[in-house]
Amino acid sequence: MFNDLVSENIPMGVILTQDGRILYLNDWGCRFIGYSMDDLKNSPFINLIHPDDQDLLIQRYQNIMAGREQSADSCYRIFSKQGETFWIRFRSKVVQHEGKPALMSFMMDETSGKRQEESLKRSEERYRELVDNLAEMIVVIKGGEICFVNKRLKEEVGMDLQGLGGMSFLEFIHPEDRDMVLDRYLRRIKGEQVPACYDVRLIKPDGQELTCEIRVSLISWEGEPATQTAILDISARRQAEKEKLALEKRLARIEKMESLGLLAGGIAHDFNNILFPIIAISEMLMEDLSPESQEYGNALEIYNAGLRGGDLVKQILSFSRQQDDEKIPVQVQSVLHEVLKLIRSTLPSDIEVIQDIEDNCCAILANPGQIHQVAMNLLTNAYHAVEPSSGTIQVSLRESALNGNQSLRYAVLTITDSGVGIRSEYMDKLYEPYFTTKEAGKGTGLGLAVVYGIIKDHGGDIRIRSEVNKGSTVDVFFPLIGDVASTPSDLPEDYQARGSERILLVDDELPVAKLGHKMLERLGYQVISFTSSAEALDAFQKDPQAFDLVITDMNMPGITGDQLAETLIALRPDIPIIMCTGFSERISPETAKEIGIKGFLMKPVIKSSLSQEVRRLLDQATRVS
Ligand code: ADP
Ligand code: MG
């Protein structure tokens, strides 16, 4: 009676099982799990237990029944009738019931404690996750020892609590930064004011150096003062900043070159007009004088000096890049000769340069300054390659059809050196900007990148073959232009074609017009010249059949040369027209062709080319008609 009174009122569960079956569960126990005694009587106790805990239950049960344990104290999850899970602690003891051993247990609810424990564990995991996945690396240092590192720090630097073998955090710091870091650490721990953010170089165990930005704060770790440091690897950012700076410098240099180019172009225009009378008048003087006389010699000197001046202007202009999109017919051979002249003077004499340049190679459509740069960059590379042990550089230029297709003809520039060669693993990288194997100051890695860009811009191609220690061969292909007229250069210089046809000459500058007039008259032609394009047009309109050929300047006030040409051709489609252009006032061959301009002369115009171009066009016209 008294027993029942106690067990029915005690605020905990009391359960008696025998052979695994429930014999008795007190009132508290029944209410707690929601079953009545009738439901439970003789049912297997294990059915109430969460499947994950059943193995443990069986093991403890066997132990206690075999006498290996006097009493058992274990926590299991049990299911209530409503399907809820509770954590129950069972304190069990073997008792005798009706002459057989049975198990009597007290049941205590530990659910809320367990739930708290679990949620604490979960929240700890969440925080750990957050800290591990921060972009920053985190380390906590207490008493000079590392007591916490997040996952990122472990992975990226290899700093870990385990396996450090008593390594101090200082060993991860660049030797030059150690004193500063230690000093700040000690002062911070003492409570002194020290900068919270600064840059530090870290050294990974494999020796790699990282530039990092760190932010340190004083915290309490397990009740003692410690520092928490957030570390951000800024190596990539620093590198990008460096590259940006280099690019900006390069850009500034390019801009400077461009304004120089503009300036040079402007000067060249005027300078060409100054050179023109010098060349033309000395040429005429020579005609009037006897070649034996001293005066003839003097005039020849002036003439030659004038030509040299013209060459110089061209050379300056090919350096100072003109507008990139401006392409004109260019003879690669002339550019090559210029570049070779320039580079020859800088090469040591034990480096042999072999030239095999086809001098009547057709013109390509190009920006001469850029072709100059291509040749210069490739020759510089060849020079660097042969420099260590001297050797030969071979430069060849020839015309070739690609893949036997005669309509696709190319000017092929080949530069071969007997130098160090290129390792096969570098072949893919050669054209990348900043790829260089050369020491600082010698190579920037931009040479081939620029070459590649220019060649692609010209519709060409480049191939590089190489063998280490044997040398390299670079082939550059530029598509040739078809039938665009260029100044014939294969005639003897003193050849002066003459004639008596009627020529209309237009140039806005009086001295130029006058000189041209005189030159043509001396060649036998009948000339009418104008300094106003409008007046010239007037004269032509009055009688389009009165002229056999027109020579016009390009840049003129009012009606420009191309506009004039277009109008004249509209009036008389078969009229041959020669356009005189300076270096900076070009007309593209497509436009010229579209308009119907058949001839070109480059300023300053010398008499031999003038006579030849005039004759060529007139002869062409008679053949056609
Ligand atoms: P840079 O000459 O400034 O290094 P480039 O873009 O001109 O840059 O060339 C890139 C790299 O290609 C060079 O550093 C070199 O390793 C390799 N290279 C180019 N031309 C040759 C050559 N003729 N012989 C050997 N190596 C070459
Ligand atoms: Mg180079």
Inside any domain, residue 322: no
Distance CA 204, CA 173 (A): 9
pLDDT at position 260 is 63
Q: Structure tokens of 157?
A: 């630097």
So what's the pLDDT on residue 586? 62
Average pLDDT over residues 130-147: 87
Q: Which of 24-38, 122-136, 322-336, 526-540 has the lowest mean pLDDT?
A: 322-336
The answer to whether the beta carbons of residues 582 and 272 sit under 8 Å apart is yes
Greater model confidence, 378 or 484 = 378
- Mean pLDDT over residues 98-109, rounded? 92
Query: Quick one: pLDDT at residue 322?
Result: 46
Shared-domain flag, residues 357 and 279: no
Tell me: do 293 and 370 sit in the same domain: no
Asked if 189 and 223 sit in the same domain, the reply is yes
Q: How far is the CA of 344 from the centre of ligand 2 (A)?
A: 17
Is position 197 within any domain?
A: yes
User: Are residues 336 and 473 located together in one domain of the fold?
Assistant: yes
Q: Is the CB of 488 under 6 A from ligand 1?
A: no
Strands 471-479 and 409-417: antiparallel
Q: Is the CB of 453 under 6 A from ligand 1?
A: no
Highest mean pLDDT among 13-27, 67-81, 331-345, 511-525: 13-27
pLDDT at 262 (0 to 100): 67
Name the residue with higher pLDDT: 169 or 371.
371
Q: What is the pLDDT of residue 509?
A: 86
Domain boundary among 214, 233, 252: 233
Stretch 462-468: mean pLDDT, rounded? 92
Shared domain for 358 and 472, answered yes or no, is yes
Identify which of 374, 381, 429, 446 to mutate to test ligand 1's pocket (most ligand atoms within 8 A of the CB).
381
What percent of the chain is predicted at pLDDT more than 90? 38
Answer whether residue 488 is part of any domain.
no
pTM for this prediction: 0.39
- For residues 89 and 367, which has the higher predicted lDDT (pLDDT)? 89
Ligand 2 center from residue 437 Cα (angstroms): 10
In total, the chain counts a number of residues equal to 625
| pLDDT at 185 exceeding the cut of 80 | yes
Same domain, 448 and 429: yes
Q: How far apart are alpha carbons 105 and 101 in whole angstroms? A: 13
Q: Looking at residues 504-518, what average pLDDT do you find?
A: 89
> Are the C-beta atoms of residues 559 and 533 closer than 8 Å to each other?
yes
392 and 472 part of one domain: yes
Q: At what angle do helices 607-624 and 510-522 cross, to 10 degrees?
A: 70
One domain, residues 526 and 414: no
Query: Looking at the predicted structure, is the pLDDT value of residue 431 above 90?
Result: no
Q: Which domain holds residue 269?
A: 244-303
Is ligand 1 within 6 A of the CB of residue 449?
yes
In a domain, 549, yes or no: yes
Mean pLDDT to the nearest integer, 274-301: 90
Give the mean pLDDT of 250-270: 68
Asked which of 482, 512, 534 is the last residue of a domain, the reply is: 482
Nearest-angstrom CA–CA distance, 154 and 9: 58
Q: What is the pLDDT of residues 44-53, one digit of tens each?
A: 999 999 999 9
Segments in 11-110 forming alpha helices (H)? 27-33, 37-40, 51-65
Query: Is 318 inside a domain boundary?
Result: no
| C-alpha torsion 235→238→240→242, nearest 10 | -130
Q: Which of 364, 313, 359 is nearest to 334 (CA)?
A: 359
CA atoms of 322 and 581, how far apart (whole Å): 15
How many angstroms separate the Cα of 217 from the Cα of each of 124, 130, 145, 202?
A: 21, 18, 16, 19
Sheet of 197-203: strand order equals 145-149, 137-142, 224-233, 209-221, 197-203
DSSP state of 509: S
Distance 435 CA to ligand 1 centre (A): 8
Name the domain boundary from 211, 233, 255: 233
Nearest CA to ligand 1 atom 26: 422
Which atom of ligand 1 approaches the CA of 442 most closely?
3
Q: What is the pLDDT, as a whole number, of residue 323?
A: 42
Give the CATH number of the domain where residue 512 resides.
3.40.50.2300
Confidence of residue 259 (pLDDT cuts 50, 70, 90): low
Q: Over range 262-272, report the average pLDDT.
A: 73
The β-bridge partners of 227 are 141, 218
Q: Phi and psi at residue 505, in whole multiples of 5°? A: -115, 130
* CB crowding 192-224: b at 16 or more within 10 Å, else e: eeeeeeeebebbeeeeeebbbbbebeeeeeeee
As a whole number of angstroms, the distance between CA 552 and CA 576 comes to 11
- Please, what is the Cα angle at 439 between 445 and 238, to 5 degrees? 70
Closest ligand 1 atom number to CA of residue 449 = 6
pLDDT at site 23: 93
Contact 522, 287 (CB under 8 A): yes
Q: What are the contacts of 280-287 at 24+ separation with CB within 8 A?
A: 280/515, 280/516, 280/518, 280/519, 280/604, 280/605, 280/606, 280/607, 281/515, 282/306, 283/519, 283/606, 283/607, 284/518, 284/519, 284/522, 287/522
Q: Are the C-beta atoms of residues 440 and 242 closer than 8 Å to each other?
A: no
Is 494 within the bounds of a domain?
A: no
Q: Is the pLDDT of residue 576 over 50?
A: yes
pLDDT, position 490: 36
Q: Which of 162-171, 217-226, 295-304, 443-452 has the lowest mean pLDDT?
A: 162-171
**337 and 473 co-located in one domain:** yes
C-beta of 448 in contact with ligand 1 (< 6 A): yes
CATH number of the domain residue 363 falls in: 3.30.565.10
CA-proximal residue: ligand 1, atom 2 (nearest): 443
Q: Token digits for 550?
A: 């027109």
Cα–ligand 1 centroid distance for 436 (angstroms): 6
- Classify 354 as helix, strand or coil: strand
pLDDT bucket at 280, cuts 50 / 70 / 90: confident
For residues 447-461, average pLDDT: 81
Q: Residue 610 pLDDT more than 90?
A: no
Residue of minimum CA distance from atom 16 in ligand 1: 437
User: Which pLDDT value is given to residue 607?
Assistant: 76
Residue 226 DSSP SS3: strand
User: Does residue 447 line the site of ligand 1, with CB under 6 A?
Assistant: yes
Q: Is the pLDDT of residue 570 over 70?
A: yes
Q: What is the rounded average pLDDT of the residues 73-77?
A: 90
CB of 228 closer than 6 angstroms to any ligand 1 atom: no
Q: State residue 585's pLDDT score.
A: 60
At 22 the pLDDT is 94
Instruction: Give me the percent of the chain exceeding a pLDDT of 70.
Output: 89
Averaged over 101-113, what is the pLDDT? 91
Q: What is the pLDDT of residue 485?
A: 37
List, as ranges, residues with CB under 5 A of the ion ligand 2: 381, 447
Confidence at residue 336, expressed as pLDDT on a 0 to 100 scale: 93
Mean pLDDT of the region 80-109: 91
142 alpha carbon, distance to own chain's centre: 45
Does residue 302 surpass a pLDDT of 90? yes
Q: Do 337 and 478 belong together in one domain?
A: yes
Q: Nearest bound ligand to CA 468?
A: 1
Angle CA 328–332–336, to nearest 5: 130
Long-range contact list for 89-94, CB < 8 A, 24+ apart? 90/15, 92/60, 92/64, 94/64, 94/65
pLDDT on residue 494? 46
Mean pLDDT of 400-416: 82
How does residue 355 score in pLDDT terms, banded at 50, 70 and 90? very high
Helix (H) or strand (E) holding 578: strand 577-581
Q: Which residue has the higher pLDDT, 188 or 315?
A: 188
**Domain count for the chain:** 5
Do 531 and 609 lie in a common domain?
yes
Check pLDDT > 70 for residue 222.
yes
Residue 369 lies in a domain: yes
Task: Tell me, yes or no, whether 376 lies in a domain.
Answer: yes
Give the CATH number of the domain where residue 168 resides. 3.30.450.20
If pLDDT is split at 50, 70 and 90, which confidence band does 284 have? Answer: confident
- Kindly state whether residues 284 and 383 are assigned to the same domain: no
Report, as an integer, the average pLDDT of 142-162.
82
For residue 387, which phi and psi values (nearest 5 degrees)?
Answer: -50, -45
* CB of residue 298 inside a 6 A radius of ligand 1: no
Query: Would you state the torsion angle of the CA atoms of residues 370, 371, 376, 377, taken in this order, to the nearest 10 degrees?
Result: 70
Q: Tokens 């239950």 label which residue?
A: 57
Better-scored residue on pLDDT, 315 or 56: 56
Q: 64: Cβ below 6 Å to ligand 1?
A: no
Q: How far is the CA of 335 from the centre of ligand 1 (A)?
A: 22
Cβ of 420 closer than 6 Å to ligand 1, yes or no, is yes
Query: Residue 127 Cα, ligand 1 centroid: separation in angstroms?
Result: 52
